[in-house]
Amino acid sequence: MKILIVDDSKVESTVLATYVRHIGGAPVCAHDGASALELFSSEAPDMVLLDVVLPDISGHEVARRIRALEQGGNWTPIIFVTSKIRDEDVEQAIGAGGDDYIYKPVSQVLLTAKIRAMHRIVQMRSSLVVLARKLDTANQELLRLSSSDGLTGLPNRRFFDETIEREWRRCLRGAKEMALVMCDVDHFKPYNDAYGHLAGDVCLRKVAGALRQALDRGGDAVARYGGEEFVFILPETTVGGALIVAERARHAVMALGMPHAESSYGVVTFSLGVATMVPDAGTDSSLLIQAADRALYQAKAAGRNCVFRLHPADNPT
């Protein structure tokens, strides 16, 4: 344990250093405030024994600057060691950032007890910090799992609901166009009936993988909407950009080449509906969802394995 001793008296600092060595510590000595702050930064001590009266700046100011230097939740115990014995002196020292207070002349027994007590607090605090980090990691994993679809690994409907509202508000603030692409595996029920539900699960996982590859911007997202239906959220995207993503996804699914005897195309295909809208104060995201859903219905009515764009004039109001 490295302990920074700050005292303008070389005699006092030598005595304190002897006490520190007696309990297995490594003393580092400074005789003024400026040197103390330099050593604190370079040596990173585990504890500070600090006199109040120093030749350049006060021990109180040293304590305040030490607290300002600490970052990332770090904490170094500061024990004031001084001849000032008034209650007001103690109050001022603790207010400046001190953690304990010892009067001079210093008793070796008392100082040893104080150092060991502070060391135990440091160890307990370190254990709590580690536990808090583990808990935070566990909470992050729980949040990820609660927002993920167990079958495909894509974000789930909950993620979609939260994300579209957030992105809708963001596009509203910036008066930016927002696109939504609703997608559906063509003839999925006949596929399940012909090949079995396990094959259907495999199909959905492969489709999900293909859809991930269709995205090339960090702000875009694809989620499983429900059953064999998926959805792309494309913030700040024009209809042209949305059509590019939709066609890329359609080709990616067809390129999987999964046989589908019940489809006229002979392989698993994908239908997609594209809708875009610039949010305004009198609308909400449900209008965009309805528009994309209608576009998807039109894509299926047009023969499936295609992308249909709903024109703005056709948007439901």
Active site residues: 228
How large is the C-alpha radius of gyration of the chain?
33
Name all contacts of 18-22 with Cβ < 8 Å and 24+ positions apart: 19/106, 19/108, 19/111, 19/112, 20/49, 20/115, 22/108, 22/112
Q: Side-chain half-sphere of 60: how many Cα atoms within 13 Å? A: 10
Residue 182, strand partner residues? 231, 273
Q: Minimal CA–CA distance to 188: which of 214, 213, 209, 207?
A: 207
**Host H or E run for residue 80:** strand 78-82
**Which residues, including other chains, have CB under 8 Å from residue 235's CB and lie 6 or more apart?**
167, 170, 171, 176, 178, 219, 220
> What is d(CA 222, CA 228) in angstroms, rounded to the nearest whole number?
13
State which amino acid sits at residue 275. A
Distance, CA of 111 to CA of 304 (rounded, Å) = 82
Q: To which residue do tokens 């909407």 refer?
A: 225
310: phi then psi, degrees, rounded to nearest 5: -85, 120
Contacts of 302 (CB under 8 A, 6+ apart): 308
What values do phi and psi take at 216, rounded to 5? Answer: -135, 10
Give, as one character, the DSSP assignment of residue 53: -
Residue 266 token pair:
């002979």
